[in-house]
Structure formats: C-alpha cells, structure tokens
Chains A and B, each alone.
Chain A
Amino acid sequence: MLVDVSYEALTTFCLLIAGLALVVSIPLHDALHKSVVWAWSTAYGISATVATFSVTSLAGINRPWIIFLPPVLATSVAIKRRGATAAAHRIVREVPSVLVLSLMLTLIARTLRLGSYTGDSFQLIASARALAQNRRAGPAIASPFNFEEFPPGYSILQIPAAWGGHTANHGLGLALALALIALLGHALRAAQRPTPHIAVGAILAVLMSSHFFWVMTTYINSHAVVALLLLGTYLRLTSTQGRIRDELPTLLMVASLVVLRVENLLLVALFLMSRVGTGASREIGRLRTIRALLAAAGATGLAHQGTVLFFYQASGQSPSRSALGLFLLAFGLILVALIAPLLAGLRLVPIRGEVWVLLGFNVVYALHETAGFIASSVATAQNLLGWKGGWGILPPLVIALTLAVLLFMRDPEGSGEPQALITFLLAAFLLLFFTGYLREKPFRVGVGDSMNRQLFHLLPLALLAIGRAIGQGSLDRYRKMRL
C-alpha cells in the first residue's frame, strides 16, 4: 500500500514540479498566491507531461524514469529564462509544499475512493497500458477508427500509473478539481474590476455543490483536463502583455487540448478564430500570440490526424470523412496563422459572426436529419433542464444568468468582454450540438452522453463570464467612490 501510494504520489509530484518550473519561467506569475501557483502548476504540468510523453512514446522509450523528464526539461526552461539562482531558489523553496500536496491528494483520493469509470475510461486506460509497454495493440490504438475516436492525450497522462501497476492515477482528479476552483476564484478577483467576494463565494459554492462537477473531475476521462486547459488558455490570452516568449505554457496547453479529445480541434479553432475577430487581437502583440497558438493547434492537429490517416492507409481501409475533414482544418489553421494580420486588419472575421454560421449548420442538421436533430434536442434538454444529466440546478441557473448578461447589460466602450466570451460559449454550444450530425448518431438521455459531458468543458468559462459581468456592474465599485 505504502509503495503504491508513494509511486502514485511521485507521478503527481513530478507533474506539479514540471508545472511549477514553467510558472517560474514567466515573470507575470511572481506575485501569485500559493493556491493559484498550484492551480497553474497543474495546468502547465499536465501540458508539459503530455508533450514530453508524446515524444517519448513515439520514440519507443518506455521506462519509468521518464516521469522525471518533464520536471527536468521544464526546470531547464526556467533556468534559461530566469537564471539558475532565481529559478532554483523558487522551485526548491516550493518542493516540500508540492511533496505534501502530492501525498495528500493521493491519500485522500484513495481513502475516499475518488474515481468514476465508464467503458471509455477503460479504453483510455488500456491505451495507456499499451503505450507504457510500447505496444501498438491496445484497444484504442488497435484500429484507425478507435485511434481517431480516442486521441492519446489522456492515456499519455496515465502512462506512469500503468508503469506503477495502478489502474489510474486518481490523485490527478482531485488536483484538477482544486485547480479549477482556485483558478476560477483567482480569475474572478484578479479582473480589472474584481467580482465582489460574496459573488465569488456564491459562484464557487454553486460549482462545488454540483454532483456533476465532482463526478467529472474524478472521472477517468479527459473532461476536467480539457475544462482546466481551456480556462487556462482563455486567462492567458486575456491577461498577458502579449509577449510571445512568455507563451510556451500556453502553446503547450493548446497543443495538449488538440490531442485530448477528437472534437477539441474544432473547439480550439473556434476559440482562436473568435479571438482574431475581437478587439483584443487588434493589439499587435496579442495577435502575434494568437497566430502562434493557431500554428501550434494546426501543427498538432496535422501530426495527430496525419497519424490517423496513416493508420487507415496501413490497414487498407479508406479514411473516414471526419479524419480527412480534421486534417484539412488543421492545415487551414496554419494558413489562418499566416494571414491573421490581414484578417484582423481588414476585419474579414466578422465579430460574433460565428454564431450565425453555426446556427446555419444546425439548420442544415435539422433539415437534413430531422429525426436525429429532434432526438438530440430532446435528449440535451432533458439532460440539462430535466435533471437527467446529473447536473442538478446548475444548467438552468447558468443559462438564465448568461442570458441576463447578454440581453440586459450594455457594452458602451466596446471592450468585448465578457460578452465576447458568452458569444464564444454560445457558438461552442452550437458547435458541440452540430457534432451530433457529424458523428451520425443523435445524443442520448443520461449522464454519460457525449454532449452532456462536453458541456462541462464550457462550465468554468460560463461562470467566469457571469462573475466578471457582476464585477463590472456591481454596486460595490460605486460604494468605493466615497460618495
């Protein structure tokens, strides 16, 4: 038992240290509270681990010592950026805290038996085992179709658990839950107009009182990871000064997103393209960052979808339409990265136009496959509003509040936030719904429904938009004006 715990904790420790080193490499993170540093460390550490293990898996290196590789590489980045003394001082100072945190996460997860599974979980775990043993016969990578349906991102994260003889690293789920809470709370308070404390408390209480939140964060699947990385990417894009050399962790987060779920290339493309059209991208530095992220997403997508197509060719099967479509989309993202200044300058990307485009796609869905569209609509409505999705009262509350922000709050200065964020969320919802048409199978009633689970990716951003809108309009700021 002790050996098991120590190994599982060690993998979490290495992941967090890798993330901490990347945090240290960016001067902007210097003054953050320790809980927020851990939250960013989780997000960055996951990205660094996915990136490193992807390369080692491709190279056929499958030794347990590789768990030390992400922290070593990330520390070398920190040393190069900040100098050996400063980086070492900061990292070494935090080592005892990270060690205790890793042990606590593992022990709590094991004691409370946190971890929920479905068939998909075991597909991912089996892939992790196959990758850990350098085999190409795991369920998810046995056929092109399954490699396409289950990208290897989450399985890569569970490789160390396979080396250690564990089913999965359950402490990671708890780390994700804490990171989401800390990062969301910090983002609400760190805004130019901070959300009042009572509102932050209420938002976090709503989040933590949702059974679905705990199920999704401890679920052996990629949903909580995607939610954290999407939130992290948004926060980096809206808070940094646009210095490209500070964006290595953001690049890693975007690249990791692409290999975590098959739909994520579409989601990331929508997210980044919507940023090209907003006011934020008109600043030269920030547009440069968005171009780099577009290129990173495109390159990762090309690599992954290229592998899928290669598997199809090697097995003598004709490639699926979705694999070809995603390959072309990845290529298109690189193209957009090249011409983004032209698009932003000429405003060829219409602000909020994506909602209408995706609405049009869903109209096509409704007309071309009416029965499936109705079935998907009814199932999604029942999951979100009819308590069938396991969310509790969270969906009606979030929908009502985001609509209130969108309909009743004015944006006279045209800063674009949080309305732009809510517009993205609306577009993302339409995009995810349209995937019901692409996969040629309607969504179903139940917690495990794909659409239902994927909406969790958008939840932190929706709560962030609501909180920031409250902060911008709250009476608190008037009271502080010493009337």
Chain B
Amino acid sequence: MIEFLNDNARLRLLRGKVVQPQFQGRPRLSHRQFTSRTRLLLPELMIGALLAGAVISFMVLPFVASESSFRFVRRVGGADDAAITASYGFTRRYDFYIELSKRHPDAEYIIYPAEAASQYLLELPAFAKAKLACPADEGTQLWVQAFGVPAPISRIDSSFAWDGKDRNDRKYRIRSGDFSNRFLVLLGDAGIDVIGINLFTSPPSQRCNDVS
C-alpha cells in the first residue's frame, strides 16, 4: 500500500475539519507543511496533469503529425498504389523523377506503371536487364548510393538478397541471383530533396557498368 500522508490527516481534511492546527490562518507554510499538503493532493494533481496533457496533446496532434517523417498510407503493390499517388500528388514524385533523368540522361528508367509509383517507391523493372552488362550471377553485388536523401534509402525485392548497409553514407550493398526481376528502390521521405541516385556494381573499384 502506498500512503501519501497518514490516513487520519486525510480523513479529517475530507470531513472539513482542521487538518493541522498550524495550517489555519497562517499565510506562510513551512516547507514541511507545504510538502505534506502537496503529497496529500498528489494523486489529484496527477489526474489534473493528465487531463491537461490530454487536451494539449489533442491540440498539438495535427502539428506533431505534420512534422513527423512517418506517415500513413504507404501501401505498396497491388491496386491501391494509384490512389496513394493521387493522395500525395504527382508533383513531388515527378520532380524526383526529373532529377533522376537529368542526372542519368541515357538511363532507361521506367516507372512502371507510372501512375502506380508513390513518392516512396520507384520501380525500375527493366533496369537490370537493360543496363547491367556484366554478368549478374549469384553473389554479384549492386550498390545503391543516394545523394541528398533526408531519410535512409532502402530497397526491396524478395528475389534480391540483402547484405549489409551503411546509413551514414547511404550505400547499400545488394547481392542478387536474378537481375531479370523488377528492381525496387525505396526512398524515405524523398520528395524534391533528392538530387541524385547512383546505381553501380560492387566492388566500386571493379565497376563494370556504372550507371551514374
């Protein structure tokens, strides 16, 4: 059991009786008296703080949500993607795409299907076949390097094997056994902040077909 004060003092307070004689009519309380009174009402003070906290929390919720880098609606794959793109707008994703194209004018980046790519998902289904000339056997590594991406770049495809990452320089090493499948590059909050992305085989010193 937890006690905040002794129970008799509390009971007397609730009966409306004098709790401590020295409390009456005295403008100044000693530190001990103040502490005792505070302890007596601590649970109620905590409830008050929680209620106030809940009100403030609801009020600041839109601000917190807008500031957060996490957002809902990140369904990937399937028929839902078109609606997601619409909800985020084409502009930001399109800027991102333009930047990529400028940096890699001869790269055959295909966003497929164009309306199905959200700002978080860039699908390059034909990239590997079209651009990687060197043998893409099991164990071949692909490095993805992004510049100016505020959130970590990531990638996914169940046919690719992941093999380590370094968030600091945003390089990702990927082992692959099948480059013929589509290749997905996932970007965190990419938006217009992305200034470029490099894709090249690894190790960098033995690049056989840099696309950058």
Contacts and interface: CB of A to CB of B under 8 A. Distances in A.
Interface of A: 1, 4, 110, 112-120, 122-123, 125-126, 129-130, 133, 135, 137-140, 142-143, 145-146, 165-167, 170, 196, 198-199, 202-203, 205-206, 209-212, 214-215, 218-219, 387, 390-394, 397, 400-401, 404-405, 408-413, 415, 419, 446-448, 466, 469-470, 472-475, 478-479, 481, 483
Nearest to B175: A142
A145 B164 contact: yes
B69 to A, nearest CB: 5
A130 B64 contact: no
Q: Could you say which of B54, B75, B160, B188 has the most chain A C-beta atoms within 10 Å of its C-beta?
A: B54
A397 to B, nearest CB: 4
A470 B156 contact: no
Contacts of B54: 202, 205-206, 209
B75 A211 contact: no
A133 B61 CA distance: 41
A392 B63 CA distance: 9
29 contacts: A115-B72, A116-B70, A118-B154, A119-B155, A123-B154, A142-B163, A143-B161, A196-B47, A199-B46, A205-B51, A206-B53, A206-B54, A211-B61, A211-B64, A212-B64, A214-B72, A215-B72, A387-B64, A392-B64, A393-B53, A393-B60, A401-B46, A404-B46, A410-B2, A448-B152, A469-B2, A474-B44, A478-B10, A478-B11
Contacts of B186: 119, 122
Contacts of B73: 113, 115
Given A4-B78, A211-B65, A212-B68, 8 more contacts: A116-B70, A118-B154, A170-B75, A206-B53, A209-B54, A390-B68, A469-B43, A470-B47
Q: Could you say which of A114, A118, A196, A219 has the most chain B C-beta atoms within 10 Å of its C-beta?
A: A118
A483 B61 contact: no
Given A115-B72, A116-B74, A202 B50 contact: yes
Interface in B114-163: 120, 151-163
Nearest to B77: A167
A410 to B, nearest CB: 5
A478 B42 CA distance: 14
Contacts of A116: 70-72, 74
B46 A394 contact: no
A448 B70 contact: yes
A50 to B, nearest CB: 21
Interface string B173-187: 001010000000010
A115 B2 CA distance: 42
A206 B14 contact: no
A400 B49 contact: yes
B15 interface: yes
Contacts of A114: 72
B76 A392 contact: no
B84 interface: yes
A210 B190 CA distance: 25
A118 B72 CA distance: 11
A117 B76 contact: yes
A126 B162 CA distance: 10
Given A122-B154, A412-B1, A397 B11 contact: no
Interface residues of B toward A: which range?
35 or more
Given A146-B162, A392-B60, A117 B74 contact: yes
Contact of B78 (A166, A214, A215, A447): A166
A125 B73 CA distance: 16
A413 B51 CA distance: 30
A393 B63 CA distance: 12
A81 to B, nearest CB: 35
Interface in B10-65: 10-11, 14-15, 38-39, 42-44, 46-47, 49-51, 53-54, 56-58, 60-61, 64-65
B72 A483 contact: no
Contact of A215 (B68, B75, B159, B164): B68
Contact of B49 (A167, A397, A446): A397
A139 B50 contact: no
Nearest to B159: A137
Contact of B154 (A119, A143, A166, A419): A119
Contact of B162 (A113, A139, A409): A139
B70 A115 contact: no
A110 B56 CA distance: 30
B142 to A, nearest CB: 13
B196 to A, nearest CB: 19
A1 B78 CA distance: 10
Nearest to B73: A113
Contact of A139 (B43, B153, B156): B156
A455 B141 CA distance: 35
B75 A446 contact: no
Contacts of A419: 2
B15 A483 contact: yes
A97 to B, nearest CB: 27
Contacts of B43: 199, 469-470, 473-475
Nearest to A412: B3
Contact of A392 (B57, B159, B177): B57
Contacts of A474: 43-44, 47
Contacts of B108: none
A211 B157 CA distance: 30
Contacts of B90: none
B70 A447 contact: yes
B181 to A, nearest CB: 12
